[in-house]
């Protein structure tokens, strides 16, 4: 992975470079699944957070849970979730846009004053396409996409996952980038593309 490759992963379609990682311990909560799937999703969080050498916690002092994952069949179900409109601004027009786009997933982030991630909301509409994906694969993919503020185009053409000997795993280059992104020497957020060079340097040091 070159410095340019890294920069592209955090450069939005608008051309803006925007990097952010979590600034506080992650407290996930999952809605709309059976206990077995819940265990799978929490296991994915534990694996990715451990990889990043970040932390999880039982509760967030402000929000209770700060990473909410919703599984559902119809976008309109989100409008019935109590108080979700207080956590996600402009929820109704957002739902209308997602219905119009026939989207099956969406992520919303909230940020600390320093720009690092404060909370994340992951929405998964379980259409035919997502329902075909094994729970372990779907969970790992979603947690990877929530651990950093990736570009809106980052994984449009290539998944962050790969298959090794029949098992779905995180791509080694993406795993190395996540580890580098959580290096305590680096800031929790950056808007300068030069941050891609710093991430690249950290990846080289860890090899």
Provide the pLDDT for residue 166. Answer: 82
Q: Is residue 179 pLDDT above 70, yes or no? A: yes
pLDDT in tens, 130-146: 999 999 999 999 999 99
- Does 113 score more than 70 pLDDT? yes
Residues 95 and 81: beta-carbon distance below 8 Å: no
The confidence band for 205, taking pLDDT boundaries of 50, 70 and 90, is confident
Instruction: Report the distance separating Cα 33 and Cα 43, nearest Å.
Output: 14
- Predicted local distance difference test score (pLDDT) of residue 105: 95
* Comparison of pLDDT for 9 and 33, the residue scoring more: 9
pLDDT of 102 reads 96
Rounded to a whole number of angstroms, the distance between the first and last alpha carbons of the chain is 12
pLDDT at residue 16 above 90? yes
pLDDT digits (tens, 9 = 90+) for 60-94: 999 899 999 999 999 999 999 999 999 898 999 99
Contact partners, residue 99, CB within 8 Å, separation at least 6: 75, 76
| Whether the Cβ atoms of residue 98 and residue 127 lie closer than 8 Å to each other | no
Q: Is the pLDDT of residue 52 over 90?
A: yes
As a whole number, mean pLDDT of residues 191-206 equals: 93
Classify each residue of 93-118 as buried b or exposed e, where b means 16 or more C-beta atoms within 10 Å of its C-beta.
ebbeebeeeeebbbbebeeeeebbbb
In this structure, are residues 182 and 51 in contact, taking their beta carbons and an 8 Å threshold? no
């Amino acid at each position: 992975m070159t410095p340019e490759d890294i920069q592209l992963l955090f450069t939005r379609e608008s051309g803006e470079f925007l990097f952010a990682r979590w600034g506080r311990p992650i407290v996930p909560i999952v809605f709309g699944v059976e206990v077995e799937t819940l265990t799978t999703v929490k296991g994915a969080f534990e694996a990715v957070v451990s990889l990043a050498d970040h932390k999880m916690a039982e509760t967030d002092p402000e929000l209770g849970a700060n990473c909410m994952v919703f599984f559902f069949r119809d976008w309109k179900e989100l409008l019935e979730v109590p108080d979700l409109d207080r956590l996600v601004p402009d929820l109704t027009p957002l739902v209308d846009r997602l219905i119009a786009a026939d989207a099956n997933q969406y992520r919303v982030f909230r940020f600390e004053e320093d720009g690092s991630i404060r909370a994340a909301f992951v929405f998964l509409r379980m259409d035919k396409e997502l329902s075909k994906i094994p729970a372990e694969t779907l969970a790992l993919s979603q947690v990877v996409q929530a651990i950093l503020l990736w570009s809106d185009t980052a994984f449009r053409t290539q998944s962050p996952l790969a298959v090794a000997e029949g098992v779905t795993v995180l791509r080694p280059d993406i795993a190395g980038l996540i580890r580098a992104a959580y290096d305590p020497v680096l800031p929790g957020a950056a808007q300068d593309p030069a941050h891609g060079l710093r991430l690249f340097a950290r990846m080289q040091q860890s090899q």
